[in-house]
Amino acid sequence: MLLTPWKHNEVQVAVCTEFAARFAPSAKVLYLGDTGQKDLYVQTDDLNQLGLHLTEHSKLPDVVIYDPERAWLFLVEVVQVESIE
Residue 58 belongs to domain with CATH number: 3.40.1350.80
Buried b vs exposed e over 2-27: b needs ≥16 C-beta within 10 Å? ebeeeeebebbeebbeebbeeebeeb
Closest CA to 40 of 68, 15, 75, 64: 64
- Give residue 21's identity as a one-letter amino acid code: A
pTM of the model: 0.82
Report how far residue 70's alpha carbon sits from residue 26's, in angstroms, rounded to the nearest whole number. Answer: 9
What is the number of domains present in the chain? 1
Kindly report the CA angle at 29 between 71 and 51, in degrees rounded to 5?
50
Q: What range does the domain containing 23 cover?
A: 7-76
In a domain, 84, yes or no: no
Each residue's pLDDT, cut to its tens digit, for the chain (85 residues) gives 566 666 777 888 888 899 999 999 999 999 988 766 666 788 999 999 999 888 776 788 889 999 999 999 999 998 877 766 6
In a domain, 30, yes or no: yes
Report how far residue 51's alpha carbon sits from residue 5's, in angstroms, rounded to the nearest whole number. Answer: 32
pLDDT of residue 68: 94
